Amino acid sequence: MTTSPTTALDPQRVQRRTVFLLSASQLLSGIGNGATLSIGSLLAVELSGSEAWAGSITTVLTLAAAIAALPLARLAEARGRRVGLVTGLVAAMVGALLFIVAVMTRSFPILVLGAALLGLGTAANLQARFAAVDLAEPERRGRSLSTVVWAITIGAVAGPNLIQPGAAVGQALGLPPIAGPFVFSAGGLLLASVLLFVGLRPDPLLLSRRLATAAKDSGGPPPRGTVASGLRAVGSSRQAVLSLAAVVAAHGVMVAVMSMTPLHLQQLVAGSHAGHHRGSTNDTDALVVIGLTISLHIAGMFALSPLWGWLTDKAGRLQTIAIGHGMLLLAVFIAGLGQDQPALVTAGLVLLGLGWSAATIAGSTLLAESVSPDARVTVQGVSDTLMGAAGAVGGATSGLLLAWIGYTGLNVASSVVVAAVLVLALATTIRGRASVSTN
C-alpha cells in the first residue's frame, strides 16, 4: 500500500507553520497600513489644497479593499491562499512606492492611485486571518485567527511613529521628509510577499480540501463564488447573519471615527487661532500627538487579539461579539464627549480599537463555522467586501458629518449603529440560551 502526499502530511504541523508564516507577513506588512493611516489624511489635504478631501485616502483605501476582497477570494479558491495573499501584497508595495512619487511630484491623483493599490494589501491582510483557520481544529479556531491578527501589532504600531525616522531616511535618499515612512512600507510589503511566496507550501486551503475529499472519497471543485451566492449562504444561518453584521458595523464605525481623528487633533493641538495653517504637515507637536494617538489605537486593534481569541473559544462567539460592541459604544461616547481633551480622545480611540478587535475576531470565527465548507471562502470574501464597503462609507461620510455636526456628533451618530448590533447580539444570545433550556 502506498501513502499519498496528502496522507503523509501532518495537518497540525502544517497548521502551526502556516500560522507562523502568516503572522510574520502580517508584522512586516503592517508598517504600510500604519503609515498610511497616520499621514494619509494630512497628505490629502496638503496635495489637494482642501480639507474636503481629508477623508479621501481612507475612503479610497477601504473601497479598494472592498472591491478586491471577492476577486482575491476567487483567486484563492482557484489557486490557493498563497497566490491570493501574495497578489494583494505586491499590489500594496506598488501603492507605497506611488505614495513616494505623489509626494515628490505634488500629485493628488497619484496619491489616490497609491491608496487604491494599498487597499489590495488591506484585503490580503484581512483574508490572512481566514487562512489561519483553514486547517485549525474547531476548539482552537479563535486563537489561531487571533494570533495572525495580533502579529500585525508591531508593524502597525511602528508605522505612525516612523515620521521622524522616515524623514531622516527620506533626506538620505534625496526624498521629501514626509515620503520617508513609505520607504519602510514598501520594504516591509516586499519582504512579506517573498516570505509567503516561498514559504506557504503546502497551501493551507488546498490541503484542507484534499483532506476533506480524501475523508469523503468524493468531491469536486468548489462552485464559483459570487456576492449573491455568498449572501444566500449567510442568510441560511441566523448566527452567520449576526456575525456578518458584527464585523461590518464594527469596521464601518472604526474607520469613520479613526479617519477624522487626525484632522480633529491637528486642529485641537495646533489651534487655528494661533495662526497655524490648517492641514499643514509642519506642526511637529500636532504630528507627535497624532502619531501617538493612532499608534495606541492600532495597538488596541491588535495587541490584545490573543485575549479575544481565547475568550472566543472559551466564553463563546456571541458573548465576545457583545463585549466588543459594548466597548465600541463606550469608546464613541468617551471620544465624543471628551472632544476638547486630547487625552480623552486618545482613550476613546484605544477603546475603539479594542472593541473592533473583539468584534472582528469573534465575528470572523463564528462566520467561518456557520456556513458550509463549500461556501466558506466565498462568504469570507463577501464579508471582507462588505467590511470594506462599510469602511468606505464611513470614511466618505465622516468628513461631511465632522463639518456638519462636529466631532461629538460624528461619535454620537456612530453609537446608533453600534447599539443596534449590540441589541441583536444580546437578543441572539438570550434566544440561544432559551432554546437550550427548552431542549
When pLDDT is cut at 50, 70 and 90, the band that residue 221 belongs to is low
Whether residue 84 has pLDDT greater than 60:
yes
Average pLDDT over all residues of the chain: 84
Return the minimum-mean-pLDDT range out of 7-21, 220-234, 388-402.
220-234
Mean pLDDT of 225-231: 78
- H-helix or E-strand containing 360? helix 342-370
Residue 4 — very low, low, confident or very high, per pLDDT cuts 50/70/90? very low
Q: Can you tell me the mean pLDDT for 190-208?
A: 93
Q: Higher confidence at residue 6 or residue 20? A: 20
373 or 163, which is more confident: 373
Mean pLDDT of 230-250: 91
What share of the chain has pLDDT > 90, as a percent? 41
Q: Is the pLDDT of residue 280 over 50?
A: no
Set of cell numbers at residue 281: 504637515
Given pLDDT bands bounded at 50, 70 and 90, which one contains residue 371? confident
In this prediction, residue 194 carries a pLDDT of 96
Instruction: Give per-residue pLDDT as tens, 146-184.
Output: 998 888 776 666 666 666 677 777 778 888 877 878 888
**Is the predicted pLDDT of residue 419 greater than 90, yes or no?**
yes
Question: What band does 40 get if pLDDT is binned at 50, 70 and 90?
Answer: confident
Confidence of residue 364 (pLDDT cuts 50, 70, 90): very high
Lowest mean pLDDT among 31-35, 184-188, 429-433: 31-35
- Tell me the percentage of the chain whose pLDDT exceeds 70: 86
CA gap 407, 332 in Å, rounded: 10
What residue ranges do the domains of the chain occupy? 9-438
Determine which of 125-134, 226-235, 286-295, 362-371 has the lowest per-residue pLDDT on average: 286-295
Which CATH fold would you assign to the domain 9-438? Answer: Growth Hormone; Chain: A; (1.20.1250)
- Helices (H), ranges, 80-203: 81-105, 108-131, 141-151, 153-158, 163-172, 180-199
Q: Per-residue pLDDT averaged across 265-270, rounded? A: 76
Q: What is the pLDDT of residue 438?
A: 57
Residues 318-331 have pLDDT tens digits of 999 999 999 999 99
Q: Contact 385/41 with Cβ under 8 angstroms?
A: no
Residue with the bigger pLDDT between 69 and 434: it is 69
Residue closest to 8 by CA, chosen among 202, 197, 198, 220:
202
Instruction: Among 167-181, 299-313, 346-360, name the most confident range.
Output: 346-360
More confident position, 417 or 391: 417
pLDDT at 436 over 60: no
pLDDT for the residue 357: 95
Can you tell me the distance from the alpha carbon of 254 to that of 297, in angstroms, rounded to the nearest whole number? 10
Does residue 263 surpass a pLDDT of 90? no
With the C-alpha atoms ordered 404, 409, 411, 415, is the resulting torsion angle positive or negative? negative
pLDDT category, 351, cuts 50, 70, 90? very high
Other Cβ atoms less than 10 A from the Cβ of 296: the count is 18
Per-residue model confidence (pLDDT) at position 309: 94
What CA–CA distance (Å, rounded) separates 2 from 116? 49
